[in-house]
Amino acid sequence: MNRHIRGFIAAAAIGLGLSGAAQAQQFVNVLTGGTSGIYYPLGVALSQIFGKEIPEAKSSVQSTKASVENLNLLQAGRGEIGFTLGDALSDAWKGNEEVGFKAPLKKLRAIAGIYPNYVQIVASADSGIKTLDDLKGKRVSVGAPRSGTELNARAVFKAAGMTYKDFAKVEYLPFGESVELIKNRQLDATLQSAGLGVASIRDLATSVKIVVVPVPADVIAKIGDPAYQSAVIPAGTYDGQSGDVPTAAINNFLVTHEGVSDTVAYKMTKALFENLEQMVSAHAAAKRISLEGAVKGLPLPLHPGAEKFYREKGVLK
């Protein structure tokens, strides 16, 4: 074989190698929740941030049934970062089959603790519902099946001495659909686990008179899970809400998996904290995201890439 042919073959091999590298483009798929919740607008903002800060990666956003689905997708490598509630994350790491995790999801890794979800039980004033006990015999929506919201609903109602059988009707619906049914008098109340000022409840409160139902501290204590903390929905969060309302809060997390490279995990974490203003513009719940809170109460290990970022910032020693 003469040197010209050998040179041609070598050049072709290099070309094929470059083609393969191009095909192995990095994707960053952001797993969120229903479009009427808070995960989705924050996920859209996050995807836009990644598109700017990680230009070598193709960024996208996916609407899902939220926490449980997101964690199972991440375990299967079908996403690079996702939103989840803390109790669902703890159940995933341990492998709680009743919740939707057939085995411990040990490929998951934490990126950051972000902001708290508040359990927001809202009823139409016409329903006569004012307390948890008043929900008995009523038509209630508890969120999409096995979503973080629905897991919160199970926990709160069980602690209050109730099951779904105590309701006249149970609907497993996303936030927006639940609100439409209340407006049409086909539903009495909805439990929505989200950041304060969630769009669906704001929409409902401008259409009908609402009552925000309290979740008392003694009920929260009976849940027996440290992920649930006593909190307050401040007066005026929604139209017609004249006073503070006690409830439960559960922290949210951003999670990835061990198959994501240290470099990409580092860049995702850095991009998040260097663009918090854009996150806040997407939804005010992001005001609660902070470096100091990012590594608190993690129920699973940090991704090494995220850990590197926090060490650089002095959050971890």
Interval 250-290: pLDDT, tens? 999 999 999 999 999 999 999 999 999 999 999 999 999 99
CA distance 150 to 120: 12
Instruction: Return the closest-CA partner of residue 315 out of 292, 288, 298, 284.
Output: 292
* H-assigned helices in the chain: 3-23, 39-53, 67-75, 86-94, 148-159, 175-183, 199-207, 217-223, 262-274, 276-282, 291-294, 304-312
**What integer best gives the mean pLDDT of the chain?**
92
Read off the DSSP letter of residue 302.
B
Enter the CATH code of domain 29-115+252-312: 3.40.190.10
**And the tokens for 268?**
């995702």
CATH of domain 117-250: 3.40.190.10
- Please report the pLDDT score of residue 270 as a whole number: 98
Helix (H, G, I), strand (E, B) or coil at 171: strand
Position of tokens 């519902």? 129
Q: Coil, strand, or helix at residue 236? A: coil
Q: Tokens representing 231?
A: 């909190």
The runs of H, that is alpha helices, within 160-230 are 175-183, 199-207, 217-223
pTM score of the predicted model: 0.84
**Domain locations in the chain?**
29-115+252-312, 117-250
CA–CA separation, 267 and 55 (whole Å): 11
* Distance of alpha carbon 26 from alpha carbon 22, whole angstroms: 9
Q: Are 152 and 248 a contacting pair, CB within 8 Å?
A: yes
Do the domains 29-115+252-312 and 117-250 sit in the same CATH topology, yes or no? yes
| Angle 298-299-300 from CA coordinates, rounded to 5° | 90
Q: What is the pLDDT of residues 49-92, one digit of tens each?
A: 999 999 999 999 999 999 999 999 999 999 999 999 999 999 99
